[in-house]
A and B are shown apart, each in its own frame.
Chain A
Amino acid sequence: MSRPELQAPPEIYYGDTEAKKYTKNTRNQQIQADMTYRALELLNLPPDEPAFLLDIGCGSGLSGEILDDEGYVWTGVDIAPSMLEVALEREVEGDLFLQDIGQGFGFRAGSFDGAISISVLQWLLNAETSHPTSSPPHRLSRFFTTLHSSLRNPSRAVFQFYPSDDDQIQLITSTAQKAGFGGGVVVDYPNSKKARKVFLVLFVGGGGASQRVPEGLEGEEQEEGKVPFERRREREHKRVKGGKKKGIKDTDWILKKKELYRQRGKEGVPRDSKFTNRKRRAIF
């Protein structure tokens, strides 16, 4: 089967059925989670500081749930109503917008402390109509220009994506540069067919640290093509199992995760309260 972005426009491809299937698939959950952790690592946010992040193409909130767990406040945008609906059902904390990123953002200058985007950018490379504003270069340019201004200086935006060839990487990086970004492409496990992952790491200003693009992960892929994060996730998955329903986080698990982050010396983890994993209820 060809890649999803070649089959139909995103809001059609991710209709009700696919949105549910995509989100429930545990293998997919794991892959998206691992890439989210890696993106956060590449984002290189100042430690011990709370941050307000943008999740570009947030979908059903698989990354958003991790941002919640990590104590970040975030906003998500996506073009597929069915994906956003699943995100609502999963009760993610972030504010959600129905938005075509190729049309650009209206966020005020310096709104976000960083942005992540997992498995989305390749969707911008396919034109859907013949109108000039829907050509991929135009959409990419509108996207990067308005994203650049909505990010704080200094900060970073990290994208994991699936380019089909080097020309696409070239178009994307050159458009981002014209929009004012520094940075470049990081390839993890470049020699592994399964574990290879492409990240675009963009800097606004100095990018929060040195201007150097981080190194990709090297070496032998771990355990049949898995990146190291997956093993940690697996342990967590095993722990959660015990008869619990998939995809629903129980309070114990959240508390345990918070405890884990605290032990690792992470500040800014919300303190436990009676609201931890509370059920939301309408007041009126």
Chain B
Amino acid sequence: MVRLITHNLLACHVKGCTSNNFPLAFKDVQIELREAEMNPDFLRGFLPKIDWNALVGAARELGDTSLPAETPEMIDEEFLQTLHHVLLEIHVEEGTMTCPNCAHVYPISNGIPNMLLAEHEIG
């Protein structure tokens, strides 16, 4: 399962592809929504790691527009609930992720992204 929590941490790792290699762009996705237990402490701890623009953009690609364009100053329960849903409850089951720099395509099948590289792409 790829959820936006891991997508937000994932850059392209093809040889020589070291700038403008994030975020990977979703295409042709099929998603599933699955409820998960909410853990506010975890979310608060994770917040500083998030690339906010990338998260908002990726959520849009998946048809979710619930996030504010910028991280709010006040982290309240309602915001955490929205963040929880976007990060942890939207599962991309099928589709592809494309590197914005080198255009390498990482296919997602059965919820699992294939990160394997060809010999000439290995750093």
Residues of A within 8 A of B (CB): 49-52, 71, 73, 75, 77, 79, 81, 84-85, 88, 93, 95-100, 103-108, 110-111, 129, 131, 133, 142, 146, 150, 268, 270-271, 273, 275-276, 278, 280-284
B37 touches A270 (CB 8 A): yes
Give the contact-size bracket for chain B: 35 or more
A108 touches B9 (CB 8 A): yes
Let me know if B72 is at the binding interface, CB within 8 A: no
Contact indicator per residue, chain B 15-59, by CB within 8 Å of chain A (1) or not (0): 000000110000000011111110101100110010100000000
Let me know if B6 is at the binding interface, CB within 8 A: yes
Give CA–CA (A211, B122) in the complex, Å.
33
B115 proximity list for chain A (CB < 8 A)? 77, 97-100, 103, 106
Residues of B within 8 A of A (CB): 1-3, 5-6, 9-13, 21-22, 31-37, 39, 41-42, 45-46, 49, 51, 88, 110-117, 119, 122-123
A50 touches B45 (CB 8 A): yes
A142 CB contact (under 8 Å) in B6, B110, B113, B123: B123
Give CA–CA (A131, B46) in the complex, Å.
39
B34 touches A73 (CB 8 A): no
What are 18 A-B contacts with C-beta separation under 8 Å?
Answer: A51-B45, A52-B46, A73-B42, A77-B115, A81-B112, A84-B112, A95-B1, A96-B112, A98-B112, A98-B115, A103-B116, A103-B117, A106-B12, A110-B49, A133-B119, A268-B41, A275-B37, A280-B34
Give CA–CA (A179, B6) in the complex, Å.
24
